[in-house]
Structure 1
Amino acid sequence: MDKNDIVDVVAAVLSSAPARSSGGERPVTPFGEAASRTYKSGVYASGYLKPFTALKSGRPFLSEYDVKTMLSSNPREITVPKNAIISPLAEDLIQEKNVKINYV
């Protein structure tokens, strides 16, 4: 399957999708008119959901983005705190680049 075949498949799926009205209608929500206004302003879920974390405070978390940032200057080793949590994707990146981890 090449690029043109993929374009044909996507075009076929989109053309068979039911038409949506493009009028200025507000989304229908179970929370009523106030929620519809909030949705339009871009903060729909923030009024209803409270943020939480499963991580205990004080333990640093290293994501793939953090590791990529550390590896941007091509070091052969990186230093991280002893109690740091390293995501599995970040660990894969570290192994792929053959970088040594120094825990302090």
Structure 2
Amino acid sequence: MNELTNTSRPAIPWMSRFFGSTPAPASRLGRERHVVDDEARLEVFKVDGAYAVTGRIMERNAQLTSQRHQLARGDDLLNHMLAEVQCNFLRKAAQIQADMYDPYRP
């Protein structure tokens, strides 16, 4: 009989004296595999989320650039002032993006 499928005897005989019957290695391996699978799925969701946020930031920045040019109508001073506002948006968006998966963030 295969030792991985045999649950009637401990995998390591001397351990039963200290811990009772030990779990079958196959069931332990199955649980560990599920934990690894769940962690991998979570990381994939994080990557997809970061991709979506990055794309949204770039779309909004392009819209702001277009809107800034329309509002300024060739006025260099107004264009510069609006560009500063746009830069503040980009700084805040970059901060939000960087903090998305920071484990120390409150």
Provide the TM-score with structure 2 as the length reference: 0.20
Greater helix fraction, Structure 1 or Structure 2: 2
Higher Cα Rg, which structure: 2
Structure with greater strand percent: 1
